[in-house]
């Protein structure tokens, strides 16, 4: 979800106004995903690198996240949205961690759309944590190092149990992965759109899905 800052700048507004609008876009896109039959939608909300931003912006982003969990999630949950988090969200403020844990368990029975929010997420850190988990199991004699294969690796990642992404969309004209789902996106179709995230809505998602549907995926075959 890139481009909130530039959206605000173009309107001579503070960056927080762009982030606020970005949350509105996120809500619209979650609803649209449900309508368009997307079963799993992952939103990259805060990366392990985003801590490098000025403290007041980090605190604004955390405030918006808290507001989203407290005020907006219920409506989404009423429409069948199940929340999952990837990333080391336990490092966020303890009250926020509690709110997130409650929201995850409250929405666990829902099954229309799975909304995965990547929080304090970085693909490299996730892979390191998975490697540590598996190393501990080898140390404890639970598994042999030769047992480790792609499947075992996958189940040690934060995304365990989720399907790999079919389509990865980056907004705002940047063409980078920025440490997002690097293992999981091995065969994802990549799409880079110029639209700034706050302007991304149902029509943009539908257009992306149409583009995706026209692509031929061979997964290394012929
Ligand atoms: C949102 O866009 C990304 C988040 C951390 C939520 P940016 O804040 O990166 O917007 P730009 O890149 O400055 O336009
Ligand atoms: Mg950016």
Distance between Cα 5 and ligand 2 center (Å):
7
Distance 7 CA to ligand 2 centre (A): 10
Determine whether the shortest distance from the Cβ of 106 to ligand 1 is under 6 A: no
User: How far is 66 from 93, CA to CA, in rounded Å?
Assistant: 10
* Residue 4: active-site member: no
**What is the Cα–Cα distance from 219 to 125, expressed in whole angstroms?**
26
Q: What is the pLDDT of residue 210?
A: 98
Ligand 1 site, residue 159, Cβ cutoff 6 A: no
What atom in ligand 1 is closest to the CA of residue 15? 8
Question: Which atom number of ligand 1 is nearest to the Cα of residue 50?
Answer: 5
How many Å separate Cα 59 from the centre of its chain? Answer: 19
| Max CA distance (Å), the chain | 59
Cβ-contact 171, 1 below 8 angstroms: yes
How large is the average pLDDT for residues 151-169?
98
Ranges 15-24, 51-60, 121-130, 213-222: which has the least confidence: 213-222
pLDDT digits (tens, 9 = 90+) for 61-83: 999 999 999 999 999 999 999 99
Give CA–CA dist 17/47, Å, rounded: 20
| CA 30 to each of CA 15, 65, 101, 132, 217: distance values in angstroms, whole numbers, following the listed order | 23, 15, 20, 33, 25
Instruction: Give the model's confidence band at 109: pLDDT under 50 very low, under 70 low, under 90 confident, else very high.
Output: very high
Write the secondary structure of 17-77 as one string of H (helix), E (strand) and C (coil).
Answer: HHHHHHHHHHHHHHHHHHHCCCCEEEEEEEECCHHHCCHHHHHHHHHHHHHHHHHHHHHHH
Distance CA 26, CA 28 (A): 5
In angstroms, the CA 33 to CA 215 distance is: 19
What are the pLDDT digits (tens) for 30-55?
999 999 999 999 999 999 999 999 99
pLDDT score of 32: 97
**Known catalytic membership, residue 199:** no
Q: What pLDDT score was predicted for residue 116?
A: 98
**Mean pLDDT of all residues in 146-160:** 98
Q: What is the mean pLDDT of residues 1-21?
A: 98
pLDDT at residue 91 in the model: 97
> Which pair of structure tokens corresponds to residue 15?
């960056």
Tell me the pTM.
Answer: 0.97
Place of tokens 């039959």: 37
pLDDT value, residue 111: 94
Q: Which ligand 1 atom lies nearest to the CA of residue 9? A: 14
Closest ligand to the CA of 60: 1
- Give the pLDDT of residue 97: 98
Relative to the alpha carbon of 199, which ligand is closest?
A: 1
C-alpha to C-alpha distance for 191 and 139, rounded to whole angstroms: 41
Residue 3 CA, closest ligand 1 atom number = 14
Mean pLDDT of all residues in 106-110? 97
Ligand nearest to the CA of 9: 1
Average pLDDT over residues 168-185: 98
Q: From residue 217, how far is each of 14, 37, 112, 166 by CA, in Å? A: 42, 19, 26, 10
6 lines ligand 1 (CB under 6 A): yes
Is residue 68 a contact partner of residue 23, using CB atoms and an 8 Å limit? Answer: yes
Q: Which domains does the chain have, with CATH numbers?
A: 4-121+163-212 (3.40.1180.10)
CA dist 39 and 62 (Å) reads: 26
Q: Which of 50, 79, 110, 179 is catalytic?
A: 50
């Amino acid at each position: 979800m890139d481009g909130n800052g530039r959206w605000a700048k173009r309107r001579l507004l503070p960056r927080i106004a762009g982030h606020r609008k970005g949350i509105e876009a996120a809500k619209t896109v979650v609803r649209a995903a449900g309508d368009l039959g997307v079963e799993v939608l992952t939103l990259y909300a805060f990366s392990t690198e985003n801590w490098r931003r000025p403290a007041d912006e980090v605190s604004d982003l955390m405030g918006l996240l808290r507001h989203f969990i407290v005020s907006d999630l219920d409506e989404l949950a009423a429409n069948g949205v199940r929340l999952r988090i990837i990333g080391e969200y336990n490092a966020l403020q303890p009250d926020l961690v509690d709110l997130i844990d409650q929201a995850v368990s409250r929405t666990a029975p829902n099954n229309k759309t799975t909304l995965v929010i990547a929080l304090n997420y970085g693909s490299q850190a996730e892979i390191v944590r998975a490697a540590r988990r598996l190393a501990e199991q080898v140390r404890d004699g639970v598994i042999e190092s030769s047992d480790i294969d792609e499947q075992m690796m996958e189940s040690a990642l934060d995304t365990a149990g989720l399907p790999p992404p079919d389509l990865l969309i980056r907004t705002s004209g940047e063409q980078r992965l920025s440490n997002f789902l690097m293992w999981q996106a091995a065969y994802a179709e990549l799409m880079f759109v110029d639209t700034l995230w706050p302007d991304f809505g149902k029509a943009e998602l539908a257009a992306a899905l149409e583009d995706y549907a026209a692509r031929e995926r061979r997964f290394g075959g012929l």
